[in-house]
């Protein structure tokens, strides 16, 4: 096992040429992927790793988590058997072998086969529920956070763990069936009411069906799938945004970058064996429907009114296939919110209309007329085909708002995941006369400063930028530049923005193959972090993000979110500040912050949001659930009632938000689709409690 092997830097230009010289020809395609991937990481990654025992241990831990993150298959005895590979994964990597991978795959495959018999046996009999209200015969609890669990000591303990898990699934299904039955009975008194014992039988049948599908999917996992997961465990240790993309994953990635999304428009990820919503695509069906949010966990998927399929532990590829479908058809998602409550969300599948992803603006009428610009992403014409760019579009919106004589401007970057670096530099320059906007550091330490290319400003009046934990990358650069120059106010609905201060590029692994190895194509691609962003004040946006000048509470603001919650993120650090001169602001941040805090204390909606945030934090920290039906039912009803109270309030239009569209943007009378979209957007803005408070803050700015 290698004690310390420093990756030697290979200049990217000669990477292809050195591939055949540095490495022995391997007939095994898997070994070639390993070699090519590691060569690219060595040559191109911003912060390359020493491939040694310490690295080996991290990859080992990542792969154990990847194959059994829920701790439902491997026993401690199995983990002990794999322990001997903990410090030899580096040797596998350097030699192109897959000894640890093969052994781990062999063990988990056998355990899946064995545990398949557990659910059949356990679900064959009723659970120990007694009494008409399903009180548990004995008080039992289950830990739902797999990170807090230890691997079961042996197979006997593992089987008992499965029994608790299946009991929990049956109990939650009984609750869902009971709720559905009560709702149906409210609509019609002819509905036959089933006893709790009958509902328990139905629930066991549903869980049995779910488990059958689950294990069928597990058996469908191919060696190629597992190998892709293993290689991603290697890249994970470099940083969370560096990935191996198998050929089919590369195709998915290309589709996601094309600007057109089919289905519901939600980016999904697997987190601790659950499918979680990572991001809602702006302008998509999910975005328009409004209920599905980032961090939601998908429990079930139904095709319209058909029976829902429980997707617990299902492969992400299979979940995606269930959710996708023809335009106009309905999919119903059973969602678990971060506070533990569940809700069914119906969404009509659609194609994202590109127009919905462009910048647009309105005038907020009131004490002062405030221009509002919504920018969903930093889009650009990357292919040079004469397409639209966000910086040019923002310039146009600013000119229109200036023509309308607005007294201030709000730029909304909430949930804006970033995009074009050049465009964010140009955009910041629309508000700042001249100077550097961002610094970019490359591997090796070279620092490049990006300056505003056009002297002068398009708009120099009062400015606020709205951000949240979903504002990332280019959004953070924009907010940081405005904040560092003291050009405007940053208002956030979370304590910080996401904290992604890195740049990635995609490299084709086939480029490392010689003509003799062409038969191995395609190897896939590697998405590699190659640069890091820094503010003009010298601090990076990585990890810490941008701290807003004023923070408005949302239901999740007390939870840790963003880059810092990922595994192996690159660190926060500083470089020398750029040569820039901050402006003298014509507003008092402390005074604005104090007045905003006073308003929030008197605002019923924000009081409810503050209480919701505390409740969500308590519920997230409390990961042990009771297997007593009465207690579980009472808790679910309480969650539902609390959420309904808050949601009902937030669905109301807020007095004082009077919105007027710009004359230049008025749709023609026969353009009914655009008229409907504009009306729907304005309705959403009128319900936006954060926008309402931002308007109040803007009214005090000079």
Of the listed ranges 333-347, 363-377, 506-520, 648-662, the least confidently predicted one is 506-520
Q: What is the CA radius of gyration of the chain?
A: 27
What confidence tens digit (pLDDT) does each residue in 134-189 have? 554 467 889 988 889 999 999 999 999 999 999 999 999 999 999 989 888 888 88
The total of other beta-carbon atoms located within 10 Å of residue 30's CB is 19
pLDDT recorded at residue 281: 72
Confidence band for 387, pLDDT divided at 50, 70 and 90: confident
pLDDT recorded at residue 382: 66
pLDDT at 17 over 80: no
Confidence band for 279, pLDDT divided at 50, 70 and 90: confident
pLDDT at 298 over 90: yes
3-state secondary structure of 503: strand
What is the H or E stretch that residue 365 is in?
A: strand 360-365
Question: Are the C-beta atoms of residues 144 and 624 closer than 8 Å to each other?
Answer: yes
- Calculate what percentage of the chain has a pLDDT beyond 90: 57
pLDDT recorded at residue 294: 85
- Residues 387-402 have a mean pLDDT of 93
Domain boundaries, the chain: 50-237, 261-351, 355-503+530-700
What confidence tens digit (pLDDT) does each residue in 579-638 have? 999 999 989 999 999 999 999 999 999 999 999 899 888 888 888 988 888 888 998 998
pLDDT at 354 over 60: no
Confidence band for 520, pLDDT divided at 50, 70 and 90: confident
CA end-to-end span of the chain: 66
- Please state, in angstroms and rounded to a whole number, the distance separating the CA atoms of residues 279 and 339: 18
Q: Do 261-351 and 355-503+530-700 have matching folds?
A: no
Question: Are the C-beta atoms of residues 414 and 469 closer than 8 Å to each other?
Answer: no
Q: What is the 3-state secondary structure (H, E, C) of 294-336?
A: CCCEEEEEEECCCCCEECCCCCHHHHHHHHCCCCCCEEEEEEE
Taking phi over 0 as left and psi of -120 to 50 as alpha, with beta for the rest, 127 belongs to beta
pLDDT recorded at residue 353: 52
pLDDT recorded at residue 250: 59
pLDDT recorded at residue 19: 35
Taking phi over 0 as left and psi of -120 to 50 as alpha, with beta for the rest, 545 belongs to left
What confidence tens digit (pLDDT) does each residue in 25-47 have? 334 788 889 999 999 999 999 99
Question: Are the C-beta atoms of residues 526 and 40 closer than 8 Å to each other?
Answer: yes
Q: Where are the alpha helices (DSSP H) in 523-621?
A: 589-602, 604-621
What confidence tens digit (pLDDT) does each residue in 524-569 have? 899 999 999 999 999 999 999 999 999 999 888 888 889 999 999 9
Give the residue among 7, 63, 6, 5 at the shortest CA–CA distance from 40.
7
CATH architecture, domain 355-503+530-700: Alpha-Beta Complex (3.90)
Domain 261-351 of CATH type 2.30.42.10 = yes
- Please state, in angstroms and rounded to a whole number, the distance separating the CA atoms of residues 483 and 478: 9
pLDDT at 236 over 50: yes
Q: How far is CA 464 from CA 305, 489, 496, in A?
A: 45, 5, 16
Both tokens assigned to 233: 């465990």
Residue 653 gets which letter from DSSP? P
Of the listed ranges 8-17, 356-365, 376-385, 394-403, the least confidently predicted one is 8-17
Q: Is the dihedral of CA 49, 51, 53, 55 positive or negative?
A: positive
Per the model's pLDDT, the better-predicted residue between 281 and 501 turns out to be 501
The contacts of residue 584 (CB under 8 Å, 6+ apart) are: 486
DSSP helix, strand, coil percent of the chain (3-state; round to 5): 45, 15, 40
Per the model's pLDDT, the better-predicted residue between 146 and 59 turns out to be 59
pLDDT recorded at residue 129: 60
What is the phi/psi pair of residue 465, to 5°? -120, 125
pLDDT recorded at residue 270: 78
pLDDT at 570 over 70: yes
- Residues 85-99 have a mean pLDDT of 92
- Please state, in angstroms and rounded to a whole number, the distance separating the CA atoms of residues 28 and 96: 9
pTM: predicted TM-score of the whole model, two decimal places? 0.80
pLDDT recorded at residue 414: 96
Confidence band for 668, pLDDT divided at 50, 70 and 90: confident
- Residues 331-345 have a mean pLDDT of 89
- Calculate what percentage of the chain has a pLDDT beyond 70: 90
What confidence tens digit (pLDDT) does each residue in 103-120 have? 999 999 999 999 999 999
């Amino acid at each position: 096992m290698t004690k310390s092997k420093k990756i030697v830097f290979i200049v990217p230009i000669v990477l292809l040429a050195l591939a055949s010289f540095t490495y022995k020809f391997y007939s095994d395609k898997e070994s070639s992927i390993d070699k090519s991937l590691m060569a690219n990481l060595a040559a191109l990654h911003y912060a390359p790793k020493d491939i040694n025992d310490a690295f080996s241990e991290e990859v080992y831990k990542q792969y154990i988590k990847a194959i059994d993150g829920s701790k439902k298959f491997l026993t401690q005895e199995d983990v002990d058997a794999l322990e001997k590979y903990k410090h030899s994964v580096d040797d596998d990597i350097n030699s192109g072998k897959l000894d640890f991978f093969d052994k781990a795959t062999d063990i988990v495959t056998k355990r899946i086969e064995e545990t398949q018999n557990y659910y059949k046996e356990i679900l064959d009999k009723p659970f120990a529920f007694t009494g008409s209200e399903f009180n548990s015969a004995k008080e039992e609890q289950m830990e739902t956070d797999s990170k807090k669990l230890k691997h079961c000591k042996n197979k006997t303990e593992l089987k008992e763990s499965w029994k608790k898990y299946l009991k929990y699934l049956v109990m939650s299904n009984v609750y869902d069936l009971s709720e559905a039955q009560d709702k149906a009975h409210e609509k019609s008194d002819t509905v036959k009411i089933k006893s709790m014992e009958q509902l328990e039988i139905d629930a066991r049948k549903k869980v049995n069906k779910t488990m059958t599908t689950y294990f069928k999917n597990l058996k469908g996992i191919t060696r190629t799938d597992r190998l892709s997961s293993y290689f991603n465990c290697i890249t994970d240790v470099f940083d969370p945004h560096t990935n191996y993309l198998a050929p089919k994953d590369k195709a998915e990635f290309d589709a996601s970058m094309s600007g057109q999304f089919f289905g519901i428009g939600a980016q999904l990820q697997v987190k601790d064996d659950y499918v979680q919503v990572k991001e809602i695509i702006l302008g998509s069906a999910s975005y328009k429907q409004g209920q599905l949010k980032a961090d939601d966990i998908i429990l079930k998927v139904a095709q319209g009114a058909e029976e829902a399929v429980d997707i617990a532990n299902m492969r992400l590829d299979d979940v995606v296939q269930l959710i996708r479908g023809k335009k106009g058809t309905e999919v119903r998602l059973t969602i678990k919110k971060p506070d533990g409550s569940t809700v069914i969300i119906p969404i009509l599948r659609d194609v994202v209309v590109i127009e919905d992803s462009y910048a647009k603006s309105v005038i907020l009428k009131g004490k002062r007329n405030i221009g509002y610009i919504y920018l969903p992403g930093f889009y650009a014409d990357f292919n040079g085909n004469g397409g639209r760019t966000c910086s040019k579009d923002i310039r146009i919106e600013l000119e229109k708002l200036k023509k309308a004589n607005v007294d201030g401007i709000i730029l909304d970057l909430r949930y804006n995941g970033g995009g074009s670096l050049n465009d964010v530099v140009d955009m910041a320059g629309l508000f700042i006369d001249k100077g550097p906007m961002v610094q970019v550091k490359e591997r090796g330490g070279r620092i490049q400063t990006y300056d505003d290319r056009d002297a002068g400003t398009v708009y120099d009046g009062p400015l606020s930028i709205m951000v949240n934990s979903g504002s990332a990358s280019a959004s953070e650069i924009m907010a940081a530049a405005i904040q560092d120059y003291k050009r405007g106010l940053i208002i956030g609905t979370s304590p910080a923005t996401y904290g992604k201060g890195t740049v990635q590029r995609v490299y084709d692994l086939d480029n490392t193959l010689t003509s003799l190895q062409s038969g191995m194509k395609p190897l896939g691609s590697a998405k590699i972090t190659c640069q890091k962003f820094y503010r003009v004040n010298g601090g990076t946006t990585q990890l810490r993000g941008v701290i807003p000048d004023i923070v408005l509470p949302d239901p999740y603001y007390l939870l840790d979110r963003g880059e810092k919650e990922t595994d192996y993120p690159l660190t926060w650090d500083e470089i020398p500040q750029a040569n820039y001169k901050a402006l003298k602001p014509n507003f008092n941040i402390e005074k604005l912050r104090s007045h905003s805090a006073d308003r929030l204390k008197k605002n019923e909606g924000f009081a409810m949001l503050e209480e919701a945030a505390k409740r969500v934090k308590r519920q997230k920290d409390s990961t042990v659930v009771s297997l007593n039906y009465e207690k579980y039912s009472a808790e679910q009803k309480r969650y539902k009632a609390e959420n309904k109270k808050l949601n009902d309030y937030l669905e109301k239009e807020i007095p004082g938000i009077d919105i007027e569209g710009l004359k230049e943007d008025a749709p023609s009378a026969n353009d009914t689709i655009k008229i409907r979209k504009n009306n729907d957007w304005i309705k959403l803005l009128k319900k936006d409690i954060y926008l309402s408070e931002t308007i109040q803050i803007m009214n005090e700015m000079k």
